[in-house]
Structure 1
Amino acid sequence: MDLYSLLREFADSWALLALFVVFITVVVWAFRPGSRRVHDEIANIPFRHEDKPARDAGFAARPQEASK
């Protein structure tokens, strides 16, 4: 048996099984009990400073605009 056939057989069986287990583990971890609060906080990141936007120091501290 040549190397290609050996690797192909491994990929068709054990590697496929390992990747399936990793996928199921990630899905279970994402939907685990208690993770709802974390996902809600992450989903609300764009709305954190909705009433008062955060000050952007990069644009406010330009020397060209300060002298005008």
Structure 2
Amino acid sequence: MNYHVMREFADSWGLLFMFAFFFCAAMFALFRPNAKKFARDAAEIPFKEDESHGR
């Protein structure tokens, strides 16, 4: 395989693969069970009281 063959493959099938992977990862993050609870817990991390400074 030379550069041009690999470049042609990356321009067509590589782009399609990257798009499919991104789409599947986004759907998994948005529509998995309990996704809203995990997102809410992660968003509240900065506002939780730190036990070491609470004394």
Q: TM-score, normalization: structure 2?
A: 0.81
Q: How does 1:1-68 map to 2 (within 5 A)?
A: 3-33=2-32, 34-49=34-49, 53-55=50-52
Find the structure with the greater CA-based Rg.
Answer: 1
Find the residue that maps to 1:21 and give its secondary structure: helix
Q: TM-score, normalization: structure 1?
A: 0.67
More helix by share: 2
- What RMSD in Å do the two structures reach over aligned CA positions? 1.6
* Aligned structure 1 segments of 4 or more residues deviating by more than 4 angstroms: none
Q: Percent identity among equivalent residues?
A: 33
Which amino acid letter does the alignment assign opposite residue 12 of structure 1? Answer: D
Partner Cα distance (2:42, 2:52) in 1: 21
Partner Cα distance (1:55, 1:8) in 2: 54
Partner Cα distance (1:54, 1:6) in 2: 58
